[in-house]
Each structure stands twice: as structure tokens, then as C-alpha cells.
Amino acid sequence: MDTVLKADIFFFVATIAIVLITTFVVTALWYAIKILRTYKETSLIIKNTVLEVSQNVLHVEDTLKNFFENLNVIQLLRLAFTPKRKNTKNVKQEKEEHGTKE
């Protein structure tokens, strides 16, 4: 009889341990699934954002390329290095202020 009592106690303890372990594993899997879903949503958001940014960069690149293709370099150099002309009224006033005549 002592053996039967020990076997009953063993099965009772083993059943409780299996229930506890199963509960722990199911809970861990539940949280893991939630984390993986959040990771998937986040990665999709990041992917879409990167695609938008890359499209914007390509658009800016095309715009700048078209701008420089349409830009006449010689005209740009002339504008950059030609001296600015003074207004004739300002020149006459400056000469009069300095006491010189034309």
C-alpha cells in the first residue's frame, strides 16, 4: 500500500508541474507572438518610410539634374564675374559730392 500512495503522490505532483510548465510556455508564446506582430508592423512602417525618402531623393536628384542641364554655364560665369553697373544718377551724385565734374 505504501507503494500505491507514493505513486499517487508522484502523479499528483507531476500533474501540477506539467500544468504550471504548460501555463508558463503558453504565456511566453503569447507574449512572443505579440512582440513579433509589433516587430512586423514596425518594420513595415520603416520600409514604407525608407521608400518614400528614397523616392524624394530621386526626385530631388532629377530636379537638380534638369536644372543643371538647362543652366547655361557661360551665362552663369558672366553673371558671377561681371562688375555691377552703378546707376547713372548715383554716379553723378558721388562725383558732385567729391567735387569732380564729368
Does any domain span residue 69? yes
How many separate domains does the chain show? 1
Which domain does 74 fall in, by range? 2-83
Segment (H or E) for 18: helix 2-70
Of the chain, the end-to-end C-alpha distance in Å amounts to 136
pLDDT at 48: 96
Instruction: Note the pLDDT tens digit of each residue in 59-87.
Output: 998 888 888 777 776 677 777 777 766 66
In a domain, residue 91? The reply is: no
The grid coordinates listed for 39 are 516587430
Q: Is residue 49 part of a domain?
A: yes
Is 13 part of any domain?
yes
Q: What is the pLDDT of residues 2-61, one digit of tens each?
A: 888 889 999 999 999 999 999 999 999 999 999 999 999 999 999 999 999 999 999 998
The radius of gyration of the chain from alpha carbons, rounded to an integer in Å, stands at: 42
Domain membership of residue 97 (yes or no) is: no
Please check whether residue 17 lies inside any domain of the structure: yes
State pTM to two decimals: 0.50
Residue 100 lies in a domain: no
Rounded to whole angstroms, the Cα distance separating 93 from 86 reads 11
Can you tell me the distance from the alpha carbon of 45 to that of 39, in angstroms, rounded to the nearest whole number?
10
